[in-house]
Homo-oligomer: A and B are copies of this chain.
Amino acid sequence: MAEIEFWYEFASTYSYPAAMRVEKVAAPKGVAVRWRPFLLGPIFGAQGWTDSPFNLYPAKGRNMWRDLERICEAEDLPLKQPPFRFPQNGLKAARIALAGVTDGWTPAFTRAVYTANFAEQKDIADDGVLATILGKLGVDAEHAVSAANSSDNKQALKAQTEEAIARGIYGTPSFLVADELFWGNDRLEQAVTWAGK
């Protein structure tokens, strides 16, 4: 079956609409989605950025939020900026998302975390917020968090980020179809078409 890899970071604004619609765009074309959470922080850090470019460059940041409003309106997605901090810290959520791949709840967990971050103004680094999300999905939170914090899983997340860098990823969301890289929520349709070729 044709496949796209969906690479995302929980702090990333444009990954929110991408996560909410990736399956809806891919499924009708017979394309499977492989969900690949990772951390963008180390990549940005290596470029000398100590903060999101949307904070470092205020004009760019202002227009990103306006653009995201227009996108979410068109997609009928709620949008509220995290009031306390942007970008939020997605480390714990990324570890949990990666730990869920084997059991198959990563996509639903991912969508719920993005909703918490960009629609519900919740702190996605808060253990209680993450446990509640897992509970609602019928996942044993204690077990999932324990698996997330195992040294194997922590190492796997680091390897995930290293793989992202090695394969040319520099921002999120990114889509990979074998070696073909597409960057941005607005390239999703193109990536799916490419996968179906």
Contacts and interface: CB of A to CB of B under 8 A. Distances in A.
A57 B63 contact: no
Nearest to A194: B70
A186 to B, nearest CB: 5
B170 A66 contact: no
Interface residues of A, number: 20
Interface of chain A, main secondary structure: helix
B183 A186 contact: no
Q: How many copies does the complex hold?
A: 2
B47 A57 contact: yes
A171 to B, nearest CB: 7
Interface in A37-90: 47, 57, 59-60, 62-63, 66-67, 70
A187 B68 CA distance: 12
B59 A170 contact: yes
Interface of A: 47, 57, 59-60, 62-63, 66-67, 70, 165, 168-171, 181-183, 186-187, 190
